[in-house]
A and B are shown apart, each in its own frame.
Chain A
């Protein structure tokens, strides 16, 4: 991958790691919450706590918290929050691939616009 604009290798790695952790965490929570065998109320929480998905999600979020702090300390905040918007796109694509969620025309337009915006910010700083 060619270096993009002003982003150093460390910043780019933290950015990529943030995408992986955020998407991984959301998918893990989705897998935990969507388990039809889980039941209701307290039993549901016990069921989820006894399986790895919930904890995988929590783990992803804890590490992501630290990765995001490191990421933002290296670039301007206004640039950082814009670049972080790519997580929305990653999660929608992952939802489509793993859970067969629909990508309507409006969703595709939204994904394209967010991606375009992130590319503009990434290249132009």
Chain B
């Protein structure tokens, strides 16, 4: 069962990451930003925006499945920790640089998300208590 959760969390992160990467590509290809039909046509006229849709829909259904079975705390954390994978991928895919502010900011944000994950776990402790050792 643990392996099932882990797979679910990774799948959720994967879909979220796909969505963010696709958003970036879609936006970049639709530049310049303007409140106009032309911009909308540029956004929906290239394939990346549909990658974002797939990422969103996939993340939604994975999240719903996880909520039914997995403990809420780790699920909450997993649904937000895509910041890590997205940051690392943006260095590789978009030649971005992780300056000190971004690294420090990311560490604080991740620590905060972990705190919130534990807070959720504690509140739902009765129905998320892990099953006794499955030896």
Q: Which of B31, B80, B101, B115 contacts A124 (CB 8 A)?
A: B101
Interface residues of A (CB under 8 A from B): 10, 65-66, 68-74, 76-82, 85, 88, 92, 102, 104, 106-107, 109-121, 123-125
**Residues of B37-81 whose CB lies within 8 A of A:** 39-40, 43, 49, 52, 56, 80
How far is B30's CA from A85's CA once the two chains are assembled, in angstroms? 24
Q: Which residue of B lies closest to A10 (CB)?
A: B33
Q: Which residue of B lies closest to A85 (CB)?
A: B109
On chain B, the residues within 8 Å of A117 by CB distance are 104-112
Describe B's contact surface by its main secondary structure.
helix
Q: Are B101 and A81 in contact (CB under 8 A)?
A: no
On chain B, the residues within 8 Å of A71 by CB distance are 27
Within the complex, the shortest CB–CB distance from B123 to chain A, in Å, comes to: 7
Q: Are A73 and B24 in contact (CB under 8 A)?
A: yes
5 new A-B contacts, CB < 8 A, other than A66-B40, A107-B119, A124-B102, are A104-B123, A114-B108, A117-B105, A120-B101, A124-B99
Interface residues of B (CB under 8 A from A): 20-21, 23-24, 26-28, 30-31, 33, 39-40, 43, 49, 52, 56, 80, 82-83, 86-87, 90-91, 94, 96, 98-102, 104-116, 118-119, 122-123
Q: Are B109 and A114 in contact (CB under 8 A)?
A: yes
Q: Which residue of A lies closest to B27 (CB)?
A: A73
Within the complex, the shortest CB–CB distance from A45 to chain B, in Å, comes to: 15
How far is B116's CA from A102's CA once the two chains are assembled, in angstroms? 12
Q: Are B105 and A69 in contact (CB under 8 A)?
A: no
A104-B27 contact in complex given A85-B80, A120-B108, C-beta closer than 8 Å = no
Within the complex, the shortest CB–CB distance from A118 to chain B, in Å, comes to: 7
Q: Are A110 and B101 in contact (CB under 8 A)?
A: no
